[in-house]
Structure 1
């Protein structure tokens, strides 16, 4: 069984320097062993850890190495990172793992709520639960986590421009990130347990989502 290793990072760095289809085809055996297979093994193991820890159903998504070039000025054909999302059935949010050539990041949240879920989010954070989440966010930042920026410059017109939860109302999604996980923690057979523990600081956001937003429709 293949796990993430220095060979994984070596492939990603080499791909970054040689981002072409010809190079990729020549080096496809390296990709298959040290990226594709390693990602599948790691993701399956992490799925099991998270499902057991949080008593939830999970569904994983491994993002493709091939880039969608249709609307991009950058025509390099491949991503040079590994991104994994593991959906949490109890909240509709996802645990996230991103391995890049020079760092590792983990997170939890929702990039963009669906239309009805976004309406529910806004109604919820406009009330007392918004104050609770603002406090949780402040504690998370103090603990070294990073929170995705609000997508809107202005508060939606249905609420006062000086609403105390304006920062939350300007959001279309929310993700807590930990940018400080040592890259070597994702290497080897112990990685699923280690990364699962690195995701524990996200529990306050997950708990708030379960209580305040409820199960996804």
Structure 2
């Protein structure tokens, strides 16, 4: 399937789901989700796979086991690319009633990765590289996001250079677009491709300085 844009019906589907997040609504409108959300998203990431790698499309169902919010369905559809061997740094795209969102970087880091990240940020050369890249992305319209502490972590001076970056426990850059005509045709493919290219340097820094976790995966009981 060739990507031809995200149909307006996909955004309308999510508007309805936000108003009625129920199994009844989902069952009735499941064909709309498949045709106007999942299928075009699959086509989009398939066309980007040669350059960025194969994507994982997330399940539309929420994990409500440990949440007070028991609504069963996500009100957005996302896909992520995490290239093998990099350990840190990937690409993300998401469709919702609010429009399109793209992101690049790392969304969750284990403790050993956080430690390496902080050492690199504190390093004059590597920290300077990251600050320069974050500043460039900010000037280009990206938001710097990720879980962060309220204070500089223990072991670093409160007035440390790049203190804001040191507070991060994960780091990614995000751009959002409200619905527009280009979302419904192949221009959306160009926007996502160009945006993902724009965060390639950030991903490379994370891969070089953070890498994969060395922690053993938690056993399942």
The offset of 1:171, in angstroms, is: 0.9
Q: Compute the displacement of 1:172 (Å).
A: 0.9
Matched, 1:81 2:76: yes
Normalised by the length of structure 1, the TM-score is 0.84
Q: How many residues align?
A: 209
Query: In structure 1, what is the Cα distance between the partners aligned to 2:178 and 2:192?
Result: 9
Q: Give, in whole Å, the separation in 2 of the partners of 1:118 and 1:103.
A: 32
Task: Work out the CA distance in 1 between the residues paired with 2:59 and 2:180.
Answer: 21
Following superposition, the deviation at residue 38 of structure 1 comes to 2.4
Q: Which runs of 5+ in 1 are unaligned?
A: 52-57
Which 10-residue stretch deviates more, 111-120 or 174-183? Answer: 174-183
**Corresponding position of 2:17:** 15
**1:1-217 alignment, distance < 5 Å:** 1=1, 3=3, 4-48=6-50, 50-51=51-52, 58-89=53-84, 90=86, 92-128=88-124, 129-148=126-145, 151-180=148-177, 183-189=180-186, 191-210=188-207, 212-213=208-209, 216=212
Contact 1:146 1:179 in 2 (8 A): no
Q: Partner of 1:88: helix, strand, or coil?
A: coil
Aligned-partner Cα distance in 1 for 2:107–2:200:
17
Which runs of 5 or more structure 2 residues have no equivalent in the other structure?
A: 214-221
Higher normalized contact order (CA 8 Å, seq sep 6+, divided by chain length): 2
Kept in 1, the 8 Å contact 2:57–2:78? The answer is yes
User: Could you say if the C-alpha distance between residues 214 and 27 of structure 1 is closer, same or farther in structure 2, counting changes exceeding 3 Å?
Assistant: closer
- Tell whether the 8 Å contact from 1:146 to 1:178 is kept in structure 2 after alignment: yes
Check whether the contact 2:121–2:166 (CA below 8 A) recurs between aligned residues: yes
Partner of 2:218 in structure 1? none
Question: CA offsets per residue over residues 83-141 of structure 1, 9 Å max, x none?
Answer: 11111334631111121202211110001222222221111111111122122212221
Displacement of 1:148 in angstroms is: 0.5
CA contact (8 A) 1:106 1:181 kept: no
**TM-superposed deviation, 1:195:** 1.6
